[in-house]
Homo-oligomer: A and B are copies of this chain.
Amino acid sequence: MRVTDVSKLKVGVLGGTGPQGKGLALRWAAAGIPVVLGSRAADRAEAAAAELRGLAGVEHITGLDNAGCAADADVVLVAVPWDGHRDLLEALRDELTGKIVIDCVNPLGFDKQGPFALPVQEGSAAQQAEQVLPDSRVTAAFHHVSAVSLADLSITDLDMDVLVLGDDREATDLVRALADAIPGFRGVYGGRLRNAHQVEALTANLIAINRRYKAHAGLRITDI
């Protein structure tokens, strides 16, 4: 698999009917990358795929149940709610064997004081994925993307860096290329998977920033 060949990959999106998964699927499809949405129910995935085909004006978006999506795709984004993350990945271990998996899940809680990071026994959602999927190539990325901005194709420059974490250089390079494929995004290597917790948890700070400044805040890394 060549890093420069991202347009020939099929990207699967588990949780592809949720706002973040759907938004990234739309952007990848609009950039010419074939996408397969996964959901618990195949008909809901196909309905979302039909909606995105209309929005992007392309045909290369399909919908399947999560297992079908994982089996059909070359690279798989995990965009499911944190509650259920482990169970879903355990159920898809066979379909995900040997594949690059991108975890973008943010384990967050909310109370009267706003958002906060939930403790995760394995350290982070990405490290949980790594433990559950020992035969996959697990990376972490796309934690901070705004679903609202992704869904609005009138925003043609999303203006943020995507931190890509992982211990497998070829895998993080490919995921960086998948970020670069979306106009305005830049994929930036962000460290080893053991440093994923703080990137996931930083989403709580970005939500606090959004509330204070009425914004859809993203990150840029300076001096690189």
Contact = CB atoms under 8 A, between A and B. Distances in A.
Contacts of A222: 159-160, 217-220
Interface stretch (A19-27, A29-37, A73-81, A196-204): A196-204
A189 B218 contact: no
Prevailing SS type, chain A contact patch: mixed
A198 B107 CA distance: 13
Given A202-B202, A219-B221, A212 B189 contact: yes
A195 B221 CA distance: 20
Nearest to A221: B217
Interface string A203-224: 0111011001101111111111
A198 B114 contact: no
B205 A199 contact: yes
Contacts of A198: 117, 197-199, 201-202, 204-205
A188 interface: yes
26 contacts: A114-B191, A114-B192, A115-B191, A115-B195, A116-B194, A117-B198, A159-B223, A189-B209, A189-B212, A190-B205, A190-B208, A191-B204, A191-B205, A195-B204, A195-B208, A198-B198, A198-B199, A202-B202, A206-B221, A215-B223, A218-B221, A219-B220, A219-B221, A220-B220, A220-B221, A220-B222
